[in-house]
Chains A and B, each alone.
Chain A
Amino acid sequence: MNSRHAAWGVGLAALIALPFVYRDPYHLHILVLILIWSFAYTAWSIMGRFGLVSLGHGGFMGVGAYVTALLWNHLGLSPWIGIPISMVAAGALALVVAYPCFRFRITGHYFVLVTLALSGIVLQVITATRDHTGGSLGYTPNRAPSGHGLIALQFDDKTTWYLIALAVWVLGLLIWRWVDHSMSRYAMEAISEDEDAAAAAGVNVTAEKLKITLISALMTALAGALYCQYQMFISPDTVSGIAVSLQMVFAVIVGGLYVSLGPTVGAIITIMLAEILRISFGTKAVGWDNLVYGLLLVIFIIFLPKGILGSVLDRLKTQPKKPKTT
């Protein structure tokens, strides 16, 4: 166990040191994107691994991004306050939708479709209030006057963003680990097997599910807000709606739903794939990345439902133990 902790520590130290040694802005940009999206995907997987498949996370992400940006532009409220407010808003939205869902035992297909309606609503509201949100043309947070970058959470240099994204990503993994080691995990696993039996065994089904959903929604909203602050441009298509929700599901499934680094592996694969296709095909690549995504998603669900990392780890575990090479 100790060597494992050491490995984590060394890996983390290497990741922190990276931007000070290696300064290529394009590669750092890709890394920041990977870290932010990994965090969002981790947020999704916290729910998804217990069979709570939500297609509403695009909605939470949209709320996180748009509320933060709107508060900054219209009220001049610093994202330091705006982000918590947007997270609370997304959490409230999650509770309003999820509580009745869980109370009335809406599960499986029905839960997926109710949450699908949720991301549909958020997308349509953003589009319909185009006087304030810019509609489908997108929205840009106002540039802060120079010297006020910290208050506005706007940084021009990639290293700062890399470190912020890294911290958030580690936070995401810690939350994942905390859930993984908590009693909630056993409760949720029991619930996903059989709700009635879990309830009979003394699990408060509604409360447990709500807890997980709330954690997941808060994290997703934070990811949306960070994405907005980093990119300085959001549009309904990139941070909300059904396509974003499906993208999350896709990345998590490809990476591995049941392992802590699975969503990260998924983010690395999807973002690298999109970038490689974009660079090698240029503007002709429009559509190709999604075509490959879709194909991979179908192939993975049919042949590798545990995802890449999950399957690799499984194989390592079942292999006969080799003599230790230390």
Chain B
Amino acid sequence: MQAFLDIFDIYLLEAVVNGILLGGVLALLALGLNLIFGVIDVTWICYAELVMIGMYGMYYMVQAFGLPYWVAAPIAILLVAGLGALLHYLVIEPLLTAPPINQLLATGGVLFILQSFATVAFGIDFRNLGIRLPVLAIGDMHFSYSRLLAFVAALIGMLAVYFFMTRTYTGTAIRAISQDRQIMSLMGVDTKRIYLITSALGGALAGLAACLLVLQYDVHPFVGLSFGPITFLICVLGGLGNFVGGFIAAFVFAEIISLGGLFADLEWGYVLAFAFFIVMMFIRPAGLLARRS
């Protein structure tokens, strides 16, 4: 009995720590999506697909052109940032005055486009970077360095965004717009430019997530579906546009998935997370941190 408990606890601890590590990347994705929503008031349904394109970018730069990982990563981030700005310019901007549902559905169309573009251009094979980072063993627990690296890099990325938002003029303008959309153009802020910058920033966060995820997962055209929906749920659970809420919700979700996966299959972890989300929507419809009105 005692031996059983010992093993059980170690696995449990391992799952908890892995959950925290997973939460870092999810928090990064949620931050990007929240940024877009908070400032421009649109939901990019295709956000995870931007990550997928970034992962393919990494794969081709590292495997086909032989660039080292550290050189390829910034290029991939810039690439996805550009893609984000392009998405805003081509799809969202013509729809800014349309009903919000139309914007959401239009990005759903972009989801189709990106997925099938990847299918057509890259094929449906699973591909991986071929970089295998060692596994860190503490006692009987095993953590992969790629997850640790992802966690640390995600935290650094989020800190960078935080300082950008609080210490620069553009960041202040972005935060101001998310508080009051109409008044900012009267204050002499170029809303169009801010929207473009925000979209690029959201894209850059997706690019960073792509660089980190490509170390852990194989790339295929539908990889976005495996973490895209979770990202939306995290954002909604935290309250759309609420950065801190999204951050906390990311870790809550990651723990549920990780612990659910420990006791049953990984899919049940996801089922549990989805069900938890629906229940939470009824208890706190406006997000975890929302004040009751």
B 262-286 to A, binary, CB cutoff 8 A, 1 in contact else 0:
0011011011001101100110010
Give Cα distance in the complex from A301 to B90, angstroms: 12
Is the contact region of chain B dominated by helix, strand, or loop, or is it mixed?
Answer: helix
Select A290's contact among B99, B102, B116, beta carbons within 8 Å. Answer: B116
Query: Which residues does chain A contribute within 8 Å of B79, judged by CB atoms?
Result: none
Nearest residue in B to A96 (C-beta to C-beta)?
Answer: B278
Q: Does B208 contact A (CB under 8 A)?
A: no
Say whether A53 contacts B101, CB under 8 Å.
yes
**Contact mask for chain B residues 240-259; partner A; CB cutoff 8 A; 1 contact, 0 none:** 10000000000000000000
- Contact digits for A293-320, partner B, Cβ 8 Å, 1 yes 0 no: 1111110011001000000000000000
Q: Report whether A250 and B109 are in contact in the complex, using a CB–CB cutoff of 8 Å.
A: yes
**How would residues 176 to 215 of chain B score, 1 for a CB under 8 Å from any chain A CB and 0 otherwise?**
0000000000000000000000000000000000000000
B110 within 8 A of A: yes
Would A101 and B112 count as touching, CB distance under 8 A? no
Q: Hey, which bits of chain B sit against chain A, CB under 8 A?
A: 37, 43, 91, 94-95, 98-102, 104-106, 108-120, 124, 221, 225, 229, 232-233, 235-236, 240, 264-265, 267-268, 270-271, 274-275, 277-278, 281-282, 285
Binds B, one of A25-33, A117-125, A139-147, A179-187: A117-125
Select B268's contact among A53, A128, A253, A286, beta carbons within 8 Å. A128
Query: When the two chains form their complex, are residues B281 and A305 in contact, meaning their CB atoms are under 8 A apart?
Result: no
Contacting residues, chain B, for A286 (C-beta < 8 A): 119-120, 124
The answer to whether A291 and B113 touch (CB under 8 A), given A104-B285, A113-B232, A242-B229, is yes
Q: A124-B274, A288-B120, A302-B91 are in contact. Are A110 and B112 (CB under 8 A)?
A: no
Show 9 A/B contacts (Cβ-Cβ < 8 Å), sorted by A.
A106-B281, A110-B236, A124-B274, A128-B271, A246-B108, A287-B115, A289-B116, A295-B113, A297-B108
Q: Is the CB of A124 within 8 A of B115?
A: no
Complex partner residue of B233 from A97, A117, A249, CB under 8 angstroms: A117
The answer, among B91, B235, B271, B282, for a CB contact under 8 Å with A125, is B271
Would A116 and B229 count as touching, CB distance under 8 A?
yes
Interface membership of A11, Cβ < 8 A? no
Q: Are A121 and B271 in contact (CB under 8 A)?
A: yes
Residues of A within 8 A of B110 (CB): 294, 298
| A contact residues around B106 at 8 Å (CB) | 297-298, 301-302
Instruction: Give which listed residue, A124, A287, A293, contacts B221 with CB less than 8 A.
Output: A287
* B94, B102, B108, B278: residue with the most chain A Cβ atoms closer than 10 Å: B108
Chain A interface, DSSP helix/strand/loop, else mixed: helix
The answer to whether B98 touches A305 (Cβ under 8 A) is: yes
A291 contacts across to B, CB distance below 8 A: 112-113, 116-117, 120
Q: In the docked arrangement, what's the CA distance between A294 and B98, Å?
A: 19
| Distance in angstroms between the alpha carbons of A213 and B247 in the assembled complex | 33
Question: Which residues A169-226 have CB closer than 8 A to chain B?
Answer: none
- The answer to whether A290 and B104 have CB atoms under 8 Å apart is no
Contact of B120 among A100, A124, A242, A287 (CB under 8 A): A287
Q: How far does the Cβ of B204 sit from chain A's closest Cβ, in whole Å? A: 23
**A73 within 8 A of partner (CB):** no
Contact (Cβ within 8 A) B116 A298: no
Within the complex, what minimum Cβ distance (angstroms) separates B98 from chain A?
7
The 9 residue pairs across chains A and B that have the minimum distance between CB atoms:
A294-B112, A287-B119, A297-B109, A128-B267, A294-B113, A290-B116, A291-B116, A298-B109, A100-B282
Residue of A nearest to B95 (CB): A302
A127 contacts the other chain (CB 8 A): yes
Q: Does A132 contact B (CB under 8 A)?
A: no
With a cutoff of 8 Å between Cβ atoms, the chain B residues found around residue A148 in the complex are: none
B95, B100, B120 — most chain A CB neighbours (10 Å): B120
**A-B contacts besides A117-B278, A125-B267, 11 pairs, CB < 8 Å:** A113-B235, A121-B274, A121-B275, A124-B271, A242-B229, A249-B108, A287-B119, A294-B113, A301-B98, A301-B102, A302-B95
Q: Does A16 contact B (CB under 8 A)?
A: no
In the assembly, what is the distance between CA of A293 and CA of B120, in Å? 14
- A residues within 8 A CB of B95? 301-302
Residue A76 is within 8 A (CB to CB) of chain B in the complex: no
Q: Are B277 and A117 in contact (CB under 8 A)?
A: yes
Q: How far is the CB of B163 from chain A (nearest CB, A)?
A: 29
Check: A105 CB closer than 8 A to any chain B CB.
yes
Indicate if the CB atoms of B101 and A112 lie closer than 8 Å: yes
Contact B100 A108 (CB under 8 A): yes
